[in-house]
Each structure stands twice: as C-alpha cells, then as structure tokens.
Amino acid sequence: MRIAIGSDEVGDELRVAIESFLHRQKAVKVDVVEYEAPGPQPVDAPDVAVLVAEAVASGDADRGILLCGSGVGMTITANKVPGVRAAQCHDVYTAEHARNSNDAQILVMGSRVVGKELATQIVAAWLKAEFESSPRRMAKMAKIDSIEKRFLARKHGRGKAGR
C-alpha cells in the first residue's frame, strides 16, 4: 500500500511519529511517500493538502494522511479535489467508520487534538478497515459521486445544481 503523507509545520512532529509507526508495520506493507509544499517555511496547510489529495486522486498513492493543527483546513482542502473523500478523525471509531461506511481514502488529524499514541491507534484502525460494499453503502457512494459530478458540471456550465 502506498501512503502519501503530508503536514504543515504544526503537524510535523506527529507526521514523523506516524511515519515511524508505518515503517514498523509488519501486517501491512506500507510505502510512505512524504509530500511537502513548495517554497520557504512556514507551510500553508492547503498547499500540502492538495499535493496529497492529487496523489490519491491520480492513483499515485492508495491512501493519504494529512496533519495540521486542527485537521479542519486540510480536510476542507483535500475534499475540493474531485474524487477524494477525506475524513477528519480524532478517535478510532470515526476512523474505522470513515473507511467502512464512506470509503475515505484520506485520513486527517489535528496534532493539537490528538497525541502520538492515539494518532497511531487511529492510523492502525484506519489502515485495517476496508470499505463494506453492501448495496446500501454502494448506493450512498453513488449518490455522493453524483452530487460531486452535478456541481462540477454546474461549475463548467453544463447543468444546474439541485437537479
């Protein structure tokens, strides 16, 4: 599994801890690819988030992990990239549910919200969880994809939102 991971300077210490954790995993073969925003420090969270989200959307990475202070800005930015489902998770249940129910390919955490130990537990649960492709969940995913396509079409002048 190829995981793109990125952080701003606030999430950098947690990123290092998570990368170390990922490299120690025996059950899951993990190839960590670190993404950094271009230019001098400090790094703007959206610059990193879009790099990781584009890597996931293009298939260059199977999944992504983003880290900043709260997780909010990274989540908002990553979800602007078509085809990406980023979930902000600060507990194990939400991380599992993000994968099981919503097929989230990007995990986002706030380094000012979770500590290193909890963060590694969240990552472990998220890595282990798989999308449960029941008919109901597949229908939900199709609905989400349809909403995204509808708004992209509207943006490009090929339809109206709300239809």
Residue 64 to residue 144: CA distance in whole angstroms: 20
* CA-wise closest residue to 67 among 107, 126, 115: 107
The distance from CA 101 to its chain's CA centroid, rounded to whole angstroms, is 15
Alpha carbon separation from 1 to 34, 75, 136 (Å, rounded): 14, 21, 27
Q: Is 89 a catalytic residue?
A: no
Residue 124 to residue 6: CA distance in whole angstroms: 17
Contact 75, 16 (CB under 8 A): no
Catalytic residue selected from 43, 52, 55, 68: 68
Catalytic residue IDs: 68
